[in-house]
Amino acid sequence: MLKNVAAVLLDGVHPFELGVVCEVFGLDRGDVGLPVYDFAVVSAEGPALGTHVPGMTVSTPYGLDRLEEADLVAIPSAGRRYEAYPPELLDALRRAVDRGARVLSLCAGVFVLGEAGLLDGRRCAVHWRYARELAVRFPRTRVDPDVLYVDEGPVVTSAGTAAGIDACLHIVRSEHGTEVANAIARRMVVPPHRDGGQAQYVERPLPATRCDTVGEVLAWMERNLDRPVTVEELAARALMSPRTFARRFQQETGTTPYRWLLRQRVLLAQELLERTDETVDAIAARAGFGNAAAMRHQFMKALGTTPNAFRRTFRVRAAA
């Protein structure tokens, strides 16, 4: 289980990405029963570093030796994508992965992972502005510019700026379960899950939407996940033609009605598996899958695991 976290900094670090890691993993929330991590900010280039903000510096007493005990090494963006990175840092990252630790990049921090060879053969995320550059520089990786983050085993990569929040909450979610990730999200006043075709497994998103035309339909869908629905029925609720509704839905949510509904059903099933003693068949019915076999199929597609395995994993972690 995740206990020890280190954020490693390069000169020119972006304060926002550093702040995201500090907010999720560096604050002591033990008073409300949330995990408390052994957290440290580590410098890869001396005790004092400049930041992306002119006149702002960061200092820390911790050097790269602190990475040797970390379960998670996070690399905030430093705005450096062309220069060589310290060989000692690249070696430390490779050793971390070899001994079973996770590494996380935020935005352009992914270039450090690429230089360390940790992107070879893996899919990864990055800010859309840097996607082509990353793909050219590291041709053995598969760059996905359309997602908020990618989890490829021990290597987690996120897109720009606020996508780092999604990636950090995903890691918390995978280590400690839905309730913990959702509680941290509430404390941060951020959505516990942002939809739009992204591979996020954090928590059921709030039905609120930034859009005016499909917001009420989304709320209705979220309240009626157990009901079979068609695009025609949803379009009628929105007082639109099916074609117009599907186009507006895609524009405003970033996904199709079917995929949005399927994702919410998987998320609801996860929540019920973790928090209740209901049978898998009962949960499949409540979540709108109809039967356990259909739910198992969708779990394998979305999460790479079965409902029973998911329940065993998070029941054990919740008890711990």
Integer Cα distance of 201 and 173 in angstroms: 7
Distance CA 200, CA 318 (A): 20
Cα–Cα dist 318/177, whole Å: 7
pTM over 0.85: no
Residue 253: CB atoms within 10 A of its CB come to 21
Question: Which residue from 178, 166, 197, 170 is spatially nearest to 272, judged by alpha carbons?
Answer: 178
The DSSP bridge partners found for residue 58 are: 49
pLDDT of residue 249: 87
In angstroms, the CA 201 to CA 56 distance is 35
Beta-strand relationship, 48-50 and 57-59: antiparallel
pLDDT tens, N- to C-terminus, the chain (320 residues): 899 999 999 999 999 999 999 999 999 999 999 999 999 999 999 889 999 899 999 999 999 999 999 999 999 998 666 568 999 999 999 999 999 999 999 999 999 999 999 999 999 999 888 888 999 999 999 998 778 899 998 999 998 878 899 999 999 999 998 889 989 988 998 876 665 333 333 334 434 444 457 888 888 998 899 999 999 999 999 999 999 999 888 877 778 899 889 988 998 998 899 888 999 999 999 999 999 999 999 988 887 788 998 888 776 444 44
Report d(CA 268, CA 178) in Å as an integer. 11
Tokens found for residue 68: 């040797």
**Which domains does the chain possess?**
4-188 (3.40.50.880), 204-320 (1.10.10.60)
Using CA atoms, how far apart are residues 25 and 5, in angstroms rounded to an integer?
7
* pLDDT value, residue 315: 65
Q: Are 127 and 111 in contact (CB under 8 A)?
A: no
Are the beta carbons of 64 and 121 closer than 8 angstroms? Answer: no
